[in-house]
Structure 1
Amino acid sequence: MSGNGQSDAASSGLSVLLVDDNASIAESIALAVRLGGHRIDGATGPEEALSRMAAARYDVILLDMNYAPGRTDGAEGLALLARILTEEPGAAIVVITAHSGVRIAVEAMRAGARDFIMKPWRNADLLARIASAATPRALAAATPAPLEPARLLGDSAAIDRLRALLRRIGPTSAGVVVTGPAGSGRGLTAAALHAASAHAARPLPAIDLRDDMAWDAIDAHAPVLLLRHPDRLGDVAQARLLARLGPDTRCIAIADHAGAIAPALARRIATVEIAVPPLVARDGDALLLARHFARVAAARHGRPVPAFTAAAEVRILSGPWADEVRGLAAAVERAVLLGDGDTIDAALLAPASVAAVAEPAIRFDLEGNERAVIEAALREHHHNVSHAATALGLSRGALYRRMARHGL
């Protein structure tokens, strides 16, 4: 121990994420971690945890194994553990469990957790396990961590398929062209592809091929290049690009139309096409993304993190959003800035956020809106029907009848 009572191992000032829904336990752990010289952020469940990991990198993740009231089987924590390690195999995760949860801790260790600690814990033991879990990451030069987080948030089948494709193609040297609507996350998808590669720890130089001055960066022969808009080049310019690319340089391209890339160039930079799904095809992801954008905007502007009213959730889920995910992010940030309370209503999301489409399907589809509100309430309360019914002002039986009517 050092003279001020802090662990010498803690002097590195690690960045820690704590995922625990118990406020008193979270407060106690956070105090111990801060006294140990580390920085710590908190999340109450999987959605917030993944949101925070999309905005910042953490050296160690302290992971409780149950979040919904009454759950003790550890299934939620194990699912989150698997999700984190799938996207970041080198993540340093320390599982937190009760003495009765030894089986869960063992299962978590087999699944890839670095360590576990039992409740109640000793602070010195907690700090030692944090420092020990972080050490392999610092020493593992063979599998360096990406420079920046590149996480694709969402639970829809469409985004799951996209993540699976990135895991499959990322570690290869194949040229990839990323397509999809502007604002849907093509740049983030390219970054996630790079993060899954052997060059993840190196920068990903981006070249806008519409800018003649930017072409000089091609001659640097970086191991990987991000080429924007090759489909907007003429035949001569595409041939010139092909001639200038180094033989060992992996190319990740972003394009509106893969078919506009000449066959010779496509063989070099577009062996595989990865299409980013539009937000309308990502069932339910819009609300999850909106909550993430609200957290990010609140942190950026020093505001409390707001909640969305039921009407705002319906508006978010109903869409459409001009400029896709990027437009939703802009609308949420504007709402955080303009709001003067702890909630965001639908009216705050309206300015400059709606594409020019027929409005009756958005405003007057009562059946669709009721289903969206019920789904949002169930997600918010971890599918606890009693809690969701209370939030909606319904009896438990009434909510069950409406769920049956909507096939939920």
Structure 2
Amino acid sequence: MVSVDGQSQHVSRPATILLVDDNPAVARAMEIAFRLAGHRLDTATGPEEAFSRLALARYDAILLDMNFGPNESSGEEGLACLARIMADDPAACVVVITAHSGIRIAVAAMQAGARDFAMKPWRNAELVAKVEAAIARGRTAAPAVPAAAPAPTGEPPAHLLGDSAAMHGLRDLVRRIGPVPAGVTITGRPGSGRTLTALAIHAASPRAATAPARVDLRDMDAWSRLDGASGTAILRHPDVLDPVAQTRLLDRIPADLRCIAIADSTAPFLPALRRRLATVEVAVPPLRDRDDDAILLARHFARTAAERFGRPQARLTGAAETAIRAAAWPDEVRGLALAVERAVLLSNDGVIDAAALAPPAPVVPTPTEATPDIRFDLTDAERAMIEAALREHRHNVTHAATALGLSRGALYRRMARYGL
């Protein structure tokens, strides 16, 4: 209920709120205040963790500090984070936090889509009421953008993580083509995020409130899901169909069905199928073209795996981050996620080093001689991982070998091979 002065006395149900603030004392105080008011408050220490959490759950409100790091007062970091949040979800309820001297920043934030602002220092009761009022206003107002309505499937939001230029371009393209009903085909390497991109396009469309039909076209029994379908359909593997099957598919797709296809290539498409399914082709960039996104994603996977499996929050060592940058990950982002999740489960101290990211060594059935050197195959990333391990352990060969899962002799031989 909202009082005449615009402050909320309470909301109709408990709210989930995300606080983005790097001050632990502030986070603890706010968690207590919102818990006593009947709400749940999660905390992210900065934009990277905030986007990670927003990719996993939907929040009724986001409390966003406008400065992170020491001696920062310009508000540029907060405004950039706000712009990304609002671009991903124009209906997001954001309340920004700024100092008394930051009225200019607060005005800029409101112009950029924030629903309200709070000045430091604040009284907890007033801040809780302000956030509740902002949530209540959003619940009673019609959404300005149909895509902002959460899908009823209970699935996590379809957020595309990454700070690289390639991912900024992909998100921009998704936002531009999502609202129009044109057919889209998503190409790229398997495991690079093609399905997530398809879901993000659907989430940016006026049809977002209805879950899309998902059809693997290699399974003829699944084709029946197209009969009478409306809204959006995600069609996998249309590029494996022969010309006759492609023609049958065209006849089977309802005229008003928005199709988002996932394929390795559009080259096998008949011209008529290309016009129906690939008015726009969206190429998902491979991980190697995404700068340091692999590190950002690895931290995201480590955070979510720790929460899912009840493990301590895991930290990547410098050697592990170097290995992640250098490796050509099989199965792209999906392969990186698997490696990080396995490392979180096997870590005893919450530290993930380079060795923990390596896949188990293949079993050699009948070796002609003992081969301890091949226990850990570093493939393309081997030299970079060895260099990082040596730096991390101050060139103590014994400790570096242990971190890499090698004997001292095996490490010395590899060092000699690479001239280290």
Amino acid in the other structure paired with 1:146 = P
Q: Quote the RMSD (CA, aligned, Å).
A: 2.2
Other structure's SS at 1:364 match: helix
1:363 maps to 2:386: no
> Structure 1 residue 167 and structure 2 residue 168: aligned?
no
**Aligned residues of 1:327 and 1:353 also touching (Cα < 8 A):** no
- Largest Rg, 1 or 2: 2
Shift in Å, 1:118: 1.4
Q: CA deviation at 1:86?
A: 1.1
Identify the residue that residue 323 of structure 1 maps to in structure 2.
331
Q: Distance in 2 between matches of 1:56 and 1:244?
A: 36
Whole-angstrom CA distance in 2 between matches of 1:251 and 1:140: 30
Q: CA deviation at 1:238?
A: 1.0
Aligned counterparts, 1:84-233, within 5 A: 84-142=85-143, 143=146, 144-147=148-151, 148-233=156-241
Query: 1:95·1:105 contact (CA, 8 Å) conserved in 2?
Result: yes
Unaligned runs of 5+ in 1: 2-6, 374-408
Distance 1:369 1:277, change over 3 A: farther
Q: Which of 265, 278, 285 does residue 273 from structure 2 map onto?
A: 265
TM-score by length of 1: 0.85
Bigger share in helix: 1
- 1:295, 1:194 → 2: CA distance? 26
2:316 corresponds to 1:308? yes
| Distance of 1:229 and 1:19 partners within structure 2 | 40
What percent of counterpart residues are identical? 57
Q: Is 2:271 the partner of 1:284?
A: no
Q: Tell me the number of residue pairs that the alignment of Structure 1 and Structure 2 aligns.
A: 364
Task: Determine helix, strand or coil for the equivalent of 2:336.
Answer: helix
> CA 1:9 to 1:347, structure 2 compared with 1: closer, same or farther past 3 Å?
same
- Cα deviation digits, residues 149-178 of structure 1 (max 9, x gap): 111100111111111111111111110000
Please list the CA deviations of residues 278-299 of structure 1 after superposition, one character each: whole Å capped at 9, or x if unmatched.
Answer: 1011111000000000111011
Change (3 A) 1:300 1:141: same
SS at match of 2:43: strand
Alignment TM-score, normalising by the size of structure 2: 0.82
Query: 1:59, 1:338 → 2: CA distance?
Result: 35
Q: Is the 8 A contact 2:61 2:94 kept in 1?
A: yes
Q: Which stretch has the larger CA shift, 182-191 or 263-272?
A: 263-272
Which secondary structure does the structure 2 equivalent of 1:258 belong to?
A: coil
Alignment of 1:13 with 2:21, yes or no, is no
User: What letter corresponds to residue 322 of structure 2 in structure 1?
Assistant: V
1:43 maps to which residue?
44
SS state at 1:202 partner: coil
Residues 150 and 353 from structure 1, CA distance in 2 versus in 1: closer, same or farther, beyond 3 angstroms? farther
Against the structure 1 CA distance between its residues 10 and 135, is the aligned structure 2 distance closer, same or farther, given a 3 Å change threshold? closer
- 5+ long unaligned stretches in structure 2: 2-7, 363-376, 393-420
Shift of 1:362: 2.4
Work out the CA distance in 1 between the residues paired with 2:288 and 2:213: 31
**What secondary structure does 1:151 align onto?**
coil
- Asked if the contact 1:328–1:353 (Cα under 8 Å) also holds between the matched residues in 2, the reply is no
Q: Provide the residue aligned with 2:396 in structure 1.
A: none
* Distance apart, 1:221 and its partner CA: 2.1
